[in-house]
Structure 1
């Protein structure tokens, strides 16, 4: 079984997601990026776009506007200025 990535998506209103996932793709201010378990640590600003969460063959999308992504050895945390689950 492949390693899982711990991912949290938080907006000022609430935590939209927290759990173990396969991969997360996000809209970085310097280009879109993907994160898997074991990714090298980094921090970046986010631009408007979609965060796509891949888990067990399913993809869930969230619309985000601004914020930051922080990749650490513990996982990925996105602190979004605004986030909603995509329709």
Structure 2
């Protein structure tokens, strides 16, 4: 069930706003997965790839990101990246 609200934003535009199952994020202290109900926190991103899982067990969509921050809160996951490309 897709139940995590995910937004990916760059300085130029809103790249993606969607309901997904899980997102794996390249944090500076290591990659981490975010699903609905994840504890709130904020971290800095390292250059790498987001893996967006639309459904449980599905194949991930990969989006390359560089720089920025990720914030997990009550409204879901927001990734503020310096750049992003699918």
TM-score (normalised: structure 1):
0.91
Where structure 1 has 5 or more consecutive residues not aligned to the other structure, the ranges are: none
* In structure 2, C-alpha distance between the alignment counterparts of 1:25 and 1:40, rounded to whole Å: 15
Superposed structure 1 runs of 4+ greater than 3 Å apart: none
Where structure 2 has 5 or more consecutive residues not aligned to the other structure, the ranges are: none
Which residue is 2:47 aligned to?
A: 48
Shift of 1:58: 3.6
* In structure 2, C-alpha distance between the alignment counterparts of 1:3 and 1:38, rounded to whole Å: 12
RMSD, matched Cα: 1.1
Number of aligned residue pairs: give it: 84
TM-score (normalised: structure 2):
0.92
Which residue is 2:15 aligned to?
A: 16
Shift of 1:3: 5.8
* CA deviation map 1:8-57 (0-9, x unaligned): 00011111110100000010011110000000000000000000100122
